[in-house]
Structure 1
């Protein structure tokens, strides 16, 4: 049985329709069961569930709509496609509102039906993958709002687990939107300081003079406008954890004072002659390359090495694409509950769009994209999404392909090029190539076989 086919239950009170569909679908590779009406279909499903139910709308005893409701309640993972005549299209539309995946109009076009059934089967596989990934995540990891089971994220989880119960300084690096603040929270929650304060400072959002006051505090009269004593963020975080977010933005003069805090555990308020000891665990985060900043003279080398005690690099979403279905469903459920929307699932077409998008804004961009889509969605299925344009991308007229090339052929050719280039760059090391492509090694192996790529030929050509 092909991966594009599966088990299908055809339900129609017309014997000729049932026979024709059994022949045509059987030739296409489907394993076909037949039922004369809804009641017989339910009996078939009780004895052996199927991947897809293809049901007529108008039938005696139990209508297609009634059967649809039973299938949705008892076998929610089964996809349902409705068949209808021209005169009963409104009934098919009603079926879509009730949870049907699609519908076809009689007389049925064989090619159109096979496309619809293939799409329904892919959607079933995507949903099963989301359920499996969520179960794996729940069983193996308990990282609160952190979602991901790819190899890249497993490495991050292992590092967090290893360092959390110590007081070691942690440096989190990675592009904007990858979840560095969530990781800092996870480190705090798994530390002996979990019951003490967690204080975040956005070092890039404050001007130089105000940043020092915010970090270290000031005494009354320390400067114009200092009408009372102010405790800085280090003192506010006493006994707990302070996150110095965007630490690469700190001015050089402030870096000197920060280095003293990190080395001696002492702060000096502005306007004070004495120092005070603080007991604080420091986590720093940046989207900058601090080594480059050191070379450019904008970041102190001694501070860089002091921060680099325990480094965790957070991967961009492009390097963990297999996490996208799980992340998207996670955000959908959160925002559906927050905004009281009925949406429960993401269509296969939308999921394919999400998987193809480059996500320059990383997880945060995906989160905001799903939030907007949920707000605009009025049904149970999220069937459209607005993706942000990628700056610098070349605009191509829709539908323009090289002469004689179909869209599936063009997509396979592009996929082949990316896989081949990754294998060349890694000199055939498949684990390294998979990380570069943002997929799992098993997924890469599947693509190599599907595309007929010889790794040996690629490496030594």
Structure 2
């Protein structure tokens, strides 16, 4: 196993924390950059207790380091204020190795300014580090240079309007209007008036001239959401506007020239709608020049921690709540859910737990009531993928990726919680094999700290290379 020092030439840590005595974290190393921001020379910081160097850190840096060691997992995306009245910084806590004695008591801390978000993570309010989201970003940049119509496909709540707005902001039309209209939000009778406008007296209640969305978006972009549900009569008029670039208001015969890039979105398959004669084939071919598919949240679970962090920061500020971070268990729980409501549902859930929370760290238990509500509808929702290897200890059900009623280690080691366990060689071998040779994962399955597992190995005279079952 690589030790901590094996990693230090590769990265430039801001802090290296050492725990010579259980529960007592000290600063072992500190970067010049961080020392300068603290107004202290490096030599005055080395060897001092973390609580003395950062007494007002929110959340506690020592507590975060302890969580890294106890969970045997990296922490990232944690918003932490090290010094009062100093700009927030985003802390990435990472265990990049263990000390030579494998006791897991050193942690590397890497900091970067809050708001200094890599472009790969945030793009015009779109958030994601997954490969599928990076492909969305790539297509947005590529298609923004064109004025061709674009169709954005994706499930409800996935963020199709954000993609449309990103296309507009990346284009040469960015300084012109961006208008958005949901084609199912208004009645069929009023849709044409909203799109194309109407003249005074065109119908009962038309007491003045009205500029439609095409005129309001002149020079810019018009986003038509739920395009697949547009009435056939309106589809024919939309086709005419797309072909000649002119709109005729309801009650008028005078065409008005408009320069608008149309971006459509749908959560239904337009090809199927065309086959069912519910959507005009000629309009489909006119619209579907370029296409961007926005994947559902369940297909990009690696983006969930980053999205949850953004929403947590947003609502903590909005409601004046102390919540600053989600625990490891809470994040894993969110990643095990299939999110039929996509990003919109995640946003609503985070808002709910922030409003209900009175602590800095939101744990998995904060989602218990939400879980019970989801269970009530479980029979009507699909299961899409198997349970993750490190599932939440909370009892959850469909639409989670599997039933999880106990911690993963419960079936491996008998005995009441907190009871001292004398693990047998066979039990350790089974856990190691089930964890695919990952000692940290094996320790979690056994319900013990990683350092405790090493002590058991030493007691039994076992080496890591000898752990696989014959």
Which bin holds the TM-score, normalised by the shorter protein?
A: 0.5 to 0.7
> In the alignment, which residue of structure 2 is the partner of 1:96?
none
Q: Deviations over 1:160-217 (max 9, x none)?
A: 0001122111111100011111111111111111111111111101111100000001
> In the alignment, which residue of structure 2 is the partner of 1:122?
73
Question: What is the CA distance between 1:118 and its match in structure 2?
Answer: 2.9
> In the alignment, which residue of structure 2 is the partner of 1:358?
338
Question: What is the CA distance between 1:46 and its match in structure 2?
Answer: 3.3
Contact persistence 2:150–2:262 (CA under 8 A): yes
Contact persistence 1:198–1:237 (CA under 8 A): yes
Moved more, 380-389 or 161-170: 380-389
C-alpha change, 1:47 and 1:301, in structure 2 (3 Å) is closer
User: Where do 1:152-163 residues align within 5 Å?
Assistant: 152-163=132-143
C-alpha change, 1:45 and 1:101, in structure 2 (3 Å) is closer
C-alpha change, 1:135 and 1:244, in structure 2 (3 Å) is same
SS in 2 for 1:183: helix
Question: What is the CA distance between 1:299 and its match in structure 2?
Answer: 0.7
> In the alignment, which residue of structure 1 is the partner of 2:20?
34
SS in 1 for 2:265: strand
CA RMSD of aligned residues (A): 4.0
> In the alignment, which residue of structure 2 is the partner of 1:316?
296
- Residue number among 182, 185, 196 corresponding to 1:205 in the alignment: 185
> In the alignment, which residue of structure 1 is the partner of 2:275?
295
Contact persistence 1:265–1:278 (CA under 8 A): yes
Question: What is the CA distance between 1:129 and its match in structure 2?
Answer: 7.5
Contact persistence 1:79–1:124 (CA under 8 A): no
Contact persistence 1:77–1:124 (CA under 8 A): no
Count of aligned positions: 336
C-alpha change, 1:253 and 1:449, in structure 2 (3 Å) is farther
Question: What is the CA distance between 1:392 and its match in structure 2?
Answer: 4.1
Structure 1 unaligned blocks of 5 or more:
7-30, 50-65, 81-98, 103-115, 413-446, 452-461
User: Where do 1:250-289 residues align within 5 Å?
Assistant: 250-289=230-269
Contact persistence 1:199–1:241 (CA under 8 A): yes
User: Where do 1:105-254 residues align within 5 Å?
Assistant: 118-119=70-71, 121-122=72-73, 124=75, 127=78, 128=92, 138-140=118-120, 143-254=123-234
SS in 2 for 1:408: coil
Whether 1:306 and 2:286 are equivalent positions in the alignment is yes
C-alpha change, 1:406 and 1:369, in structure 2 (3 Å) is closer
C-alpha change, 1:70 and 1:137, in structure 2 (3 Å) is closer
Question: What is the CA distance between 1:393 and its match in structure 2?
Answer: 3.6
CA distance in 2, matches of 1:168, 1:410: 57
Contact persistence 2:153–2:292 (CA under 8 A): yes
C-alpha change, 1:220 and 1:449, in structure 2 (3 Å) is farther
Contact persistence 2:151–2:263 (CA under 8 A): yes
CA distance in 2, matches of 1:171, 1:364: 20
Question: What is the CA distance between 1:32 and its match in structure 2?
Answer: 8.7
Return the TM-score normalized by structure 2: 0.63
C-alpha change, 1:371 and 1:226, in structure 2 (3 Å) is same
Return the TM-score normalized by structure 1: 0.64
CA distance in 1, matches of 2:252, 2:51: 74
- Residue number among 363, 366, 374 corresponding to 1:389 in the alignment: 374
CA distance in 2, matches of 1:207, 1:231: 18
> In the alignment, which residue of structure 2 is the partner of 1:109?
none
SS in 2 for 1:311: strand
CA distance in 2, matches of 1:411, 1:206: 55
Question: What is the CA distance between 1:101 and its match in structure 2?
Answer: 6.6
CA distance in 2, matches of 1:300, 1:145: 33
Contact persistence 1:126–1:348 (CA under 8 A): no
Structure 2 unaligned blocks of 5 or more:
6-16, 32-48, 79-91, 95-109, 382-393, 398-404, 413-434, 442-470
CA distance in 2, matches of 1:240, 1:72: 52
